[in-house]
Amino acid sequence: MGIKVVCASVIGKSNNPLYIRCFDSTEEALKFHYIVHSALDVVEEKSTAKKGASLDLYLGMLYPTEDYRVYGYTTNSKIKFIIVVQEDGDSHDQAIKNFFRKFHVLYANTVANPFYTPDDLITSRKFNEELEKQVKTV
Amino acid sequence: CGAVVMAQKGARPYDRIGEQVFAKVDKINAELFTLTYGSIVTQLVKDYEDLGEVNTQLEKMGYNIGVRLIEEFLARSNVGRCADFTETAEVVAKVGFKMFLGITANVTDWDAEKKEFSLVLDDNPLTEFVELPESYNKLWYANILCGVIRGALEMVQMKVEATYVKCVLHGHDASEIRVVLKEILTDEIPASMRDE
């Protein structure tokens, strides 16, 4: 009802992808990789646009494509979360904000693993499973 | 029915003692504790490379902690002498673990002679957030606990061996440490001092 997250990604400090996961088996993953990559430019724009004033972590909608909308969320450690959603009708901003918050907490828990080095690709099984659960309950 | 009530009254309320002591001790942030232990383990893995050796080192570190920790435990908990090894097990699980880690363990699987038991831990602050990479099957991540148990009990005249048999990081439901009583240490006059 309303929103369906079709792709979630975590991008590192130097805009290197740490994690990209697509939840829509009908579309080719490459298409989402491309969408996420283009979204990074918008993120840069939004981050540098506001001078001085503290920027809200949630960046809002980055740009719309024909079927999807792309949302972004950044952290002070320059880690970016980008999701591609399929929405019908009104934007469910609050639900998306909540999703990002939980996504952020999930990321923090994964980083807390002493065997994970920050800026590595995220291969944690727990991360995958939890993210799946959250995507289902958006 | 009467017999059951009597048996329950006979058992000392270690759970309650454990909670009382836990309430009195200082606490630190759990994440800091978990991350500190995590960095110790990863550093050991880098230094020693052989996982079996890391297990041994963790156990040795635990032993050094245990021989000192027991004094703190005895001073704070005011638990008297244990009548037998089964009581020792309960005290370790309910008071010891509660006081220092904030969790209670369960004592199970006694052998026929009451010289061996298992400590089952449902959750463990040391392993919070940890995921072992695939090649680390030989590593007992929280092996330091085995050393702590061995060191602490040695100072109260019990020589035990504690080893991990199951660990949540290896996919099991709960972690399990097997504790085996090797001997009760009694003070013996060394041969050189005996008057012969």
Annotate B62-97 with b (16+ C-beta within 10 A) or e (fewer): bbebbbebbeebeeebebeebeebebbbbbbbbbbb
Nearest in space to B30 (alpha carbons), one of B95, B93, B100, B77: B100
Q: Does B133 touch chain A (CB under 8 A)?
A: yes
CB contact residues (below 8 A), chain B span 111-130, against chain A? 128-130
Percent of chain A with pLDDT over 90: 37
C-alpha B151/C-alpha B174 separation (Å) is 24
The pLDDT of residue A80 is above 70: yes
Please tell me the predicted confidence (pLDDT) of residue B9. 38
Please tell me the predicted confidence (pLDDT) of residue B3. 43
- For residue A99, the distance in angstroms to the closest alpha carbon of chain B comes to 20
Confidence of residue B111 (pLDDT cuts 50, 70, 90): very high
The pLDDT of residue A88 is above 80: no
Chain B residues close to A128, C-beta within 8 Å: none
Cβ–Cβ below 8 Å for B42 and A115:
yes
Please tell me the predicted confidence (pLDDT) of residue B130. 94
Tokens 């010289």 sit at which residue? Answer: B115
Nearest in space to B129 (alpha carbons), one of A117, A134, A111: A111
Give mean pLDDT, residues A123-127.
90
The pLDDT of residue A24 is above 90: no
- For residue A123, the distance in angstroms to the closest alpha carbon of chain B comes to 9
Whether the CA torsion B149, B34, B140, B112 is positive or negative: it is positive
Q: Which of B29, B37, B130, B134 to mutate to test the interface with A (most CBs of A within 10 A)?
A: B130
Give mean pLDDT, residues A68-85.
90
DSSP states of chain B: -HHHHHHHHHS--HHHHHHHHHHHS----HHHHHHHHHHHHHHHHHHH--HHHHHHHHHHHHHHHHHHHHHHHHHHH-----SSHHHHHHIIIIIIHHHHHS---EEE---TTS-EEEEEES--GGGTT----GGGTT--TTTHHHHHHHHHHHHTTEEEEEEEEE-GGGT-SSEEEEEEEEEE------GGGS--
Q: Does B41 touch chain A (CB under 8 A)?
A: yes
Asked whether the whole model's pTM tops 0.90, one would answer no
Annotate B181-191 with b (16+ C-beta within 10 A) or e (fewer): beeeeeeeeee
Give mean pLDDT, residues B77-102.
92
Cβ–Cβ below 8 Å for B132 and A126:
no
Cβ–Cβ below 8 Å for A115 and B130:
yes
Which amino acid would we find at residue B64?
N
pLDDT digits (tens, 9 = 90+) for B11-60: 568 999 999 999 999 999 999 999 999 999 999 999 998 999 999 999 99
Largest CA distance in chain A: 43
pLDDT digits (tens, 9 = 90+) for B126-163: 998 999 998 999 999 999 999 999 999 999 999 999 99
C-alpha A81/C-alpha B155 separation (Å) is 53
Tokens 């500190």 sit at which residue? Answer: B36
Chain B residues close to A113, C-beta within 8 Å: 38, 129-131
Q: Which of A105, A113, A124, A126 to mutate to test the interface with B (most CBs of B within 10 A)?
A: A113
C-alpha A37/C-alpha B13 separation (Å) is 61
Which residues contact residue A29 at a Cβ distance below 8 angstroms, ignoring those fewer than 6 apart? A20, A22
How far, in Å, are A114, B55, B124, B126, B141 from residue B41 at the CA level? 8, 9, 15, 11, 7
C-alpha B129/C-alpha A113 separation (Å) is 5
The pLDDT of residue B99 is above 80: yes
Q: Does B131 touch chain A (CB under 8 A)?
A: yes
Chain A residues close to B132, C-beta within 8 Å: 115
Strands across the sheet with B116-121, in order?
B106-108, B116-121, B175-184, B158-166
Largest CA distance in chain B: 62
Chain A residues close to B29, C-beta within 8 Å: none
